[in-house]
């Protein structure tokens, strides 16, 4: 597996603003590491739904307005926000009646835009965690990794009255230690099946094309609302996938009547 880029490596992105450069560099390996570096099992949404039905679980997930056992569901997810682009995104989602899952960052994001986090929750979106400062959890010691996951949990709970139950590890990189910490904190790890690599381009048409080419039933689409080209691509993505018969749901709705279990990895 290629060695992931880090802020210490020479890269053209260092000419960008510090926050954008950091996120861009750490994202470069993401598309090639959908399941991270660890040899860990991942669970698909269809498996979660099937297991829940077979087990006749007493505590099942909420269906919301759609049963994904029957409908052709897909989940839009956004990493690393909120940002100055998020209000426009939330308006698009509201106008098109599409729920999404937001994997929010703590430092410079939740802290800077608390009202947007509240708005996400109030408008029916799932608010999840993308760690506090986007450190690669597999590259830091367990104590620091725990802090990276605990801090956004507390910040989100303070804003919306409930802790997140989902998290997305930066670059999708996870291992047994991250699994254990996640389990201890009540977090399931959510990866993705579709990536537009929107951290490499501001071409909205290209971002839309990449998403549409990769999308399939039970897909989990990875986008970032921090990049300029991403939000303008969202209306076209939604409209075309709706034409193809897809129904947009949050990640928990995608798994229902099953539920994501803390410490497990899903994609």
Q: What is the structure's pLDDT at 56?
A: 52
- The answer to whether residue 225 is catalytic is no
- Would 215 be classed as within a structural domain? yes
- Would 19 be classed as within a structural domain? no
Q: What is the pTM of this model?
A: 0.82
Categorize the per-residue pLDDT at 247 as very low, low, confident or very high, splitting at 50, 70 and 90.
Answer: very high
pLDDT in tens, 101-110: 999 999 999 9
| Residues near 114 by beta carbon (within 8 Å), at least 6 away in sequence | 159
Please state whether beta strands 247-249 and 219-224 pair in parallel, antiparallel, or not at all (unpaired): unpaired
**For residues 68 and 256, what is the distance between their CA atoms, to the nearest angstrom?**
7
| Residues near 236 by beta carbon (within 8 Å), at least 6 away in sequence | 204, 205, 208
Query: 224 lies in which domain range?
Result: 35-266
50 three-state secondary structure: helix
CATH number, domain with residue 204: 3.20.20.370
- Would 158 be classed as within a structural domain? yes
Q: Which of 79, 198, 218, 225 is catalytic?
A: 79
Q: What is the structure's pLDDT at 21?
A: 42
- Would 203 be classed as within a structural domain? yes
| Residues near 158 by beta carbon (within 8 Å), at least 6 away in sequence | none
Q: What is the structure's pLDDT at 81?
A: 97
pLDDT at 38 over 60: no
Please state, in angstroms and as integers, the Cα–Cα distance from residue 3 to each residue in 19, 30, 37, 175, following that order.
22, 12, 10, 16
Q: Which of 109, 125, 130, 224 is catalytic?
A: 224
Domain count across the chain: 1
CB contact at 8 A, 22 and 10: no
- Would 97 be classed as within a structural domain? yes
Counting residues of the chain whose pLDDT is more than 70, the rounded percentage is: 80
- Would 5 be classed as within a structural domain? no
Categorize the per-residue pLDDT at 203 as very low, low, confident or very high, splitting at 50, 70 and 90.
Answer: very high
- The answer to whether residue 130 is catalytic is no
Q: 84-114 b/e with 16+ CB inside 10 Å = b? A: ebbbebbebbeeeebbbbbbbbbbbbbeebb
Identify the H or E element spanning 234: helix 234-243
- Would 146 be classed as within a structural domain? yes
Q: What are phi and psi of 40, to 5 degrees?
A: -120, 145
Mean of per-residue pLDDT scores for the chain: 85
Q: What is the structure's pLDDT at 52?
A: 67
pLDDT at 135 over 60: yes
pLDDT in tens, 48-105: 787 665 555 434 444 457 899 999 999 999 999 999 999 999 999 999 999 999 999 9
**For residues 226 and 83, what is the distance between their CA atoms, to the nearest angstrom?**
6
Categorize the per-residue pLDDT at 22 as very low, low, confident or very high, splitting at 50, 70 and 90.
Answer: very low
pLDDT at 1 over 70: no
- Nearest to 36, CA basis, from 7, 4, 81: 4
- Would 16 be classed as within a structural domain? no
Placement of tokens 């501001």 in the chain: 202
pLDDT in tens, 205-234: 999 999 999 999 999 999 999 999 999 999
**For residues 162 and 68, what is the distance between their CA atoms, to the nearest angstrom?**
25
For the ranges 6-20, 126-140, 154-168, 209-223, the lowest mean pLDDT is seen at 6-20
C-alpha radius of gyration, the chain, whole number: 17
């Amino acid at each position: 597996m290629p060695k992931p880029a880090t802020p210490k490596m020479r890269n053209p992105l260092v000419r960008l603003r510090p926050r954008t450069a950091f996120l861009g560099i750490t994202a470069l390996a993401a598309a090639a590491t959908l399941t991270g570096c660890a040899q860990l099992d991942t669970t698909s949404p269809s498996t979660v739904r099937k297991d829940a039905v077979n087990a006749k679980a007493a505590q099942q997930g909420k269906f919301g307005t759609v049963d994904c056992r029957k409908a052709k569901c897909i989940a839009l997810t956004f990493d690393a926000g909120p940002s100055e682009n998020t209000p426009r995104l939330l308006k698009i989602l509201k106008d098109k009646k599409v729920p999404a899952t937001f994997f929010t960052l703590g430092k410079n994001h939740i802290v800077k835009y608390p009202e947007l986090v509240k708005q996400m929750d109030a408008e029916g979106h799932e608010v999840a965690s993308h760690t506090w400062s986007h450190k690669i959890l597999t590259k830091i010691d367990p104590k620091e990794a725990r802090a990276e996951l605990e801090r956004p949990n507390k910040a989100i709970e303070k804003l919306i009255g409930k802790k997140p139950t989902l998290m997305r590890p930066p670059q999708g990189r996870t291992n047994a230690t991250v699994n254990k910490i996640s389990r201890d904190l009540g977090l399931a790890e959510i990866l993705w099946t579709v990536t537009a690599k929107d951290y490499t381009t501001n071409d909205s048409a290209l971002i839309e094309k990449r998403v549409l080419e990769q999308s399939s039933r039970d897909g989990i689409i990875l986008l970032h609302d921090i990049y300029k080209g991403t939000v303008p691509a969202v209306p076209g993505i939604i409209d075309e996938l709706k034409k193809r018969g897809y129904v947009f749901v949050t990640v928990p709705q995608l798994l229902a009547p099953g539920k994501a279990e803390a410490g497990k990895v899903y994609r």
